[in-house]
């Protein structure tokens, strides 16, 4: 794991599309909270920053059960901003490179290891699986050329790694922050967003046999 890389997990949102009445970080996936899954995957990362807003105290309480040394950052405007604002706020005092990670995202443990071992800037994408996808258009080398709401080879799920000095404030999405720097190196991963209840049921099944510590 690079010592010049911070991980920023964006957990400020309400998660209203999911319809389970709580922020996505706290939903249970096969017996443990989504944020617990993520913290386990990042156990060897020195600098982990969690951006909170909705149900902030509940998230803090859950996180501290698993790890005491995370940095909590507040997005007080979580109701009117998207993940771009949270990523910017989490990156402010981070290390040279910042790895953006959505609070509703699970990535296969083997692919997390690959992501953490990869130096420099990159964008991850996956095969299409979500109900409400943003697409990624790639070239023959797998590099990311564009994001699209209509068509693309793969689905944009995140994560992405970018130099901290390039992270500009946006009230929109993280992919909007990345667009000025395209094309960027692309990495295909097994990643799953949980935006809707259909996504949630699908991820429950997919993660049943995941082994994190092997």
Q: Model confidence over 54-104: pLDDT tens digits?
A: 999 999 999 999 999 999 999 999 888 889 999 999 999 999 999 999 988
Residues in the chain: 214
Range of the domain at 114: 5-123+159-167+192-208
Residue 88 covered by a domain: yes
Residue 103 covered by a domain: yes
Stated pTM of the model: 0.90
> Which residues, 6 or more positions from 209, have their beta carbon under 8 angstroms from its beta carbon?
none
CATH number, domain containing residue 106:
3.90.550.10
Residue 182 covered by a domain: no
Q: Model confidence over 100-130: pLDDT tens digits?
A: 999 888 899 999 999 999 999 999 999 987 6
**Contact assessment for residue 88 and residue 169, using Cβ atoms and an 8 Å cutoff:** yes
Number of domains the chain is built from: 1
| Backbone φ, ψ for residue 27 (5° rounding) | -65, 145
Residue 152 covered by a domain: no
Q: Per-residue pLDDT averaged across 151-172, rounded? A: 92
Rounded distance between C-alpha atoms, residue 144 and residue 79, angstroms = 30
Residue 140 covered by a domain: no
Rounded distance between C-alpha atoms, residue 23 and residue 173, angstroms = 18
Q: Model confidence over 192-214: pLDDT tens digits?
A: 878 777 778 887 788 777 776 65
Q: Model confidence over 7-32: pLDDT tens digits?
A: 999 998 876 555 456 677 888 888 88
The pLDDT confidence band at residue 181, using thresholds 50, 70 and 90, is very high
Residue 80 covered by a domain: yes
Residue 108 covered by a domain: yes
Residue 82 covered by a domain: yes
């Amino acid at each position: 794991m690079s010592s010049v890389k911070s991980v920023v997990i964006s957990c400020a949102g309400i998660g209203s599309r999911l319809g389970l009445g709580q922020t996505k970080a706290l939903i249970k996936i096969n017996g443990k909270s989504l944020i617990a899954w993520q913290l386990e995957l990042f156990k060897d990362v020195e600098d982990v920053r969690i951006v909170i807003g909705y149900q902030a105290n509940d998230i803090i309480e859950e996180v501290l059960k698993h790890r005491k040394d995370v940095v909590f950052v507040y997005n007080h405007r979580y109701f009117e901003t998207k993940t771009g604002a949270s990523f910017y706020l989490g990156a402010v005092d981070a290390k040279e490179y910042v790895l953006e990670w959505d609070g509703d995202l699970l990535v296969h443990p083997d692919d997390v290891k690959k992501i953490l071992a990869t130096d420099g800037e990159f964008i991850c994408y996956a095969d299409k699986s979500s109900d409400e996808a943003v697409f990624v258009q790639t070239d023959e080398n797998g590099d990311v050329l564009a994001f699209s709401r209509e068509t693309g080879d793969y689905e944009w799920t995140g994560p992405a790694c970018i130099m901290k000095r390039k992270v500009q404030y946006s009230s929109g999405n993280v992919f909007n922050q990345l667009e000025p720097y395209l094309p960027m190196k692309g990495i295909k991963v097994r990643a799953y967003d949980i935006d809707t209840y259909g996504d949630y049921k699908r991820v429950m099944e997919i993660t049943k046999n995941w082994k994190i510590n092997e």
